[in-house]
Amino acid sequence: MEILQKRKIWYIISGIILIIGLFFWISQGLNLGIDFQGGTIMEMKFDEEVSNEEAREIVAETGVIEDPTIQQTREEGIHGVMIRTRELSTEEISTIREAFEEAYPTTEILRTEMVGPTIGEQLRRNAIWALLVAALAIVIYISIRFEFKFAIVALLTLTHDIVITVGIFALLGREINTAFVAALLTILGYSLNDTIVIFDRIRENMKIMSKKPFLELANQAVVDTLPRSINTSVTTLVTVLAIYLFGGAAIQTFMLALLIGMFAGTYSSIFVASPLLVTWNQLAKRRATS
């Protein structure tokens, strides 16, 4: 099975996906949640279903806020609505609550949370630092265990996964919050684990198949680990999908990010990491002979 011999095809596929993701990321921007930009979140439940449009009309009639983000939160017969908007005062929160109680007497306030802009900025900064520290730790670990070029290739592969995940979230307009950052860190670990398994097999082949070209021994490593990668990924993705569909709105952002990122990570471990390593090796040989 010639996988790495067709690496130009995988580069083109990845390039197209990355360009589309970056386009929506830049053109539409990210839908930052109140975790990062500050604001108020109100979650209510009702005995009957209340659509987003009906909830928006009630909020509009109060004159308190103009364009809130409204999301359904259905869980086992419970009909709920989550409202996300700018930072509200206590009086404004009371006005909105009273408007819903007047329209739907069974209204029950599940939670009201407020995050100030200073805290939001701090959380955003901490999230960036968390990703940078994780990236640095990955480079150090792989450089020690393998070689520096393996570390750079792994970092490029992980960047590929993160850009795709963020790009799809930008395309879908889904909210970026602290749960999303936690999902990104989880994706880094998952994708890195898959990549290291292949790298480890490549290193073994370099010892026992030293006379063969690097392309052949790397391709053999990918073929050998392919069933394991596919089986592990399928079982994990099925579990994540089930939790996303039936786990409730509270963890949907986290699970959706995991679903996208793990799919991207499985693809990149096989069709991006190893091809990049082969390309690096070939360029190094050309420079050495020139």
Per-residue pLDDT of 19-34, as tens digits, reads 998 898 888 888 777 7
Nearest alpha carbon to residue 83 among 105, 47, 107: 107
Q: What is d(CA 269, CA 102) in angstroms, rounded to the nearest whole number?
A: 55
Per-residue pLDDT of 198-256, as tens digits, reads 999 998 888 888 788 889 999 999 999 988 888 888 898 898 888 888 876 668 888 99
Check whether residue 256 and residue 128 sit in a common domain. yes
Q: What is d(CA 160, CA 171) in angstroms, rounded to the nearest whole number?
A: 16
Q: How far is CA 90 from the centre of its chain?
A: 34
Check whether residue 20 and residue 136 sit in a common domain. yes
Per-residue pLDDT of 130-151, as tens digits, reads 888 888 888 898 888 888 889 9
Check whether residue 132 and residue 212 sit in a common domain. yes
Check whether residue 68 and residue 168 sit in a common domain. no
Q: Looking at the DSSP assignment, which residues form a beta bridge with residue 106?
A: none
Check whether residue 74 and residue 124 sit in a common domain. no
Check whether residue 204 and residue 165 sit in a common domain. yes
Check whether residue 131 and residue 164 sit in a common domain. yes
Check whether residue 168 and residue 273 sit in a common domain. yes
Which of 71, 86, 114 is a domain's end point? 114
Supply the CATH number for residue 263's domain. 1.20.1640.10
Check whether residue 59 and residue 143 sit in a common domain. no
Query: Which structural domain, as residue segments, surrounds residue 84?
Result: 39-114
- Count of structural domains, the chain: 2
Check whether residue 15 and residue 125 sit in a common domain. yes
Nearest alpha carbon to residue 93 among 123, 62, 121, 120: 62
